Structure 1
């Protein structure tokens, strides 16, 4: 059974993003009030705000954690056209800072000419790298050459996607068989232009990122996108939040190892759900990629799980206040049939 706790976040405006650290014991929130708050989970399970500070001069759209191998590091992005890297420092002086932590700004990335809409750290096996995307349609990849000096970041790549970018996701696979890969979603309002999701792949020969695939069936604005954790699979799984929830399977097709052309993929739609009956704003995988959570304008979080036949269905629905939804039919589209969300919730197995 799922237990919900409410947190008095105390932000003065809309909260745009919530991000957990690698261990799930810390959480960061960001808001249109231009602030970030950091929360720590106590032994009693309660979340306590341990830091709150003004970050940008505009709405803060996203906040994300680096892998703890690189320390306690956050990145945020904003309508003010910047992305900022923050690091937590534990006071060592003899004054009242001793033993207390505080967050300091390490660098401000100012290359974008428009709102920076998403920011993500690369998988840790790639080193300390950071990607941003902007409303001007440019994806930028930065690298910290010295992980002990987070004030120095160099711009390594600029990828022009031709469409206003809203969200990005790194493929987390550390397999040598898979080149570094980024999925980019667009919230461009022009529905006649198909392909609101583009996949870019790094090429060792050209040392650049090239477009490998465009998901032409995605024609509506994309609000969030996330590759599933890859635990040794030969293919990739990608979840997309648009006017519904979609799960795609990307199967790499065999290619000549000496070729400098990007990998081609066989694209399959694993599932498509319109149960939110509204815009879907976030999708998030659990660490084993067996459970997908989605949230939408219907004020609900919905949990999706695949059975052994790889058929996805709803296993739980929670209202915004944490209470389960009772008696609501879960209109699962595609070949999955329909089921009652409440009966699915009763059979939910959590993670």
Structure 2
């Protein structure tokens, strides 16, 4: 049975992002009050704030977890033009800190000249890598050469673009070249960037997206030969990205070309859509918008996408929400929701575990 929990986050200003760790038992929130809070889930299902600290000198837009293989590591980004990497340390001395954890700043990335709008860790098989994008239209890719020393990060590459960037996401797939993409807030909004032997080159434009994009998310790839991409803009859109075969000749280089197909589009929110998120098996997509609702989408046995549930901000279902019209698609089937991000403008975090 689905149960929604509401917690008093006690942030002093708008909550901009909620991020769950790999196991879903820890959560981080960030806010315009310049702070980040870490929450741990107890055995009885309650969420308790175990750490809270001021991270930046401006609004904190995003917070994200590294894979636990690298320890308990967070990254945050802010309007103050910086991104920061934080690590949880358990006190081992004989003082009051023994057995108690605390978060320390390992590094501050100061390359951006404008607000850093998003930060994401790469999939763990690529090592400890971090990507940022900023309002100056530059995506920056960093790497920690020594995972035991998180104070040292090297800037691997800067990818300059002509438009302001709003969000980024890595493809989690290990099949074929992994991809990272960024989104712009102006006319040609979405550019896919493909990683090819650690070199970065633009692979494709999604020319059908012409409105500001607020969030993007690759679906986890469990063996497909193509990628599935969800976009939050004035509506919800799902794209299929099919790598095109090309002849390999001596001295040939360049990114793999992609065939782009739009497989579903929903305007059910009747408002701006701010977040999209897949479950771990890529069979269910959650979206949230200015209508104050979270909508869950999945494909049926005929490969037609439809809305299977609508949840209000307090977690209560909307009556008759399972009877939404189907939209043709070629991607995925049923099951669990992975995470629900809080909506900006609320001082309570709505937790909707799958």
Q: Is the structural similarity TM-score above 0.5?
A: yes
**1:339 corresponds to:** none
What residue is the counterpart of 1:308 in the other structure? Answer: 301
Go from structure 1 to structure 2 and tell me whether the alpha carbon gap of 1:52 and 1:315 turns closer, same or farther (over 3 Å shift).
same
Displacement of 1:95 in angstroms is 1.1
Contact 1:184/1:198 (8 A) holds in 2 = yes
Correspondence for 1:280: 273
Query: Pick from 170, 181, 197: which aligns with 1:183?
Result: 181
Q: CA deviation at 1:125?
A: 0.2
1:141 matched to 2:141 = yes
> Among 299, 309, 315, which residue is 1:322 paired with?
315
Does the Cα contact within 8 Å between 2:166 and 2:214 map onto a contact in 1? yes
Q: Is 1:222 equivalent to 2:213 in the alignment?
A: yes
Aligned length: 331
Q: Which has the higher contact order (CA 8 A, sep 6+)?
A: 2
Cα displacement (A) at 1:68: 0.1
Tell me the distance in 2 between the aligned counterparts of 1:84 and 1:26: 19
Residue number in structure 2 paired with 1:50: 50
Q: How does 1:149-164 map to 2 (within 5 A)?
A: 149-164=149-164
Matches within 5 A, 1:165-184: 165-175=165-175, 178-184=176-182
Q: Which residue in the other structure is 1:209 paired with?
A: 200
Q: Distance in 2 between matches of 1:18 and 1:241?
A: 16
Match of 2:256 among 260, 263, 287: 263
- Assess, with a 3 A threshold, how the Cα gap between structure 1 residues 157 and 291 changes in structure 2: closer, same or farther: same
Please report how far the alpha carbon of residue 289 of structure 1 lies from its aligned counterpart in structure 2 after TM superposition.
Answer: 0.4
SS in 1 for 2:254: coil
Range with greater deviation from structure 2 (154-163 or 140-149) = 154-163
Deviations 1:204-231 (A, max 9, x none): 3xx5211000100000000000101111
Moved more, 252-261 or 234-243: 252-261
C-alpha distance in 2 between matches for 1:125 and 1:308: 33
Question: 1:24 matched to which residue of 2?
Answer: 24
Name which of 239, 245, 253 aligns with 2:244: 253
- 1 CA distance for matches of 2:141 and 2:182? 13
Secondary structure at the residue paired with 1:24? coil
Please give the alpha-carbon distance, in whole angstroms, between the structure 1 residues aligned to 2:293 and 2:128.
Answer: 35
CA 1:349–1:235: 2 relative to 1, 3 Å: closer
Structure 1 unmatched runs, 5+: 337-347
TM-score between both structures, scaled by the size of structure 2: 0.90
Give the TM-score of the pair, scaled to structure 1.
0.91
Provide the alpha-carbon RMSD of the alignment.
1.5
Deviation string 1:161-203 (CA, Å, 9 cap, x unpaired) is 221100000011112xx21311111123xxxx2x311101123
- What pairs with 1:30-69 in structure 2 (closer than 5 Å)? 30-69=30-69
Q: Aligned equivalents of 1:83 and 1:333: distance in 2?
A: 41
Instruction: Map 1:41-120 onto structure 2 (within 5 A).
Output: 41-120=41-120
Task: For 2:301 and 2:118, locate their aligned partners in 1 and report how far apart those are by CA, in whole Å.
Answer: 34
Farther off after superposition, 303-312 or 149-158: 303-312
CA spacing shift, 1:333–1:312, aligned 2, 3 Å: closer
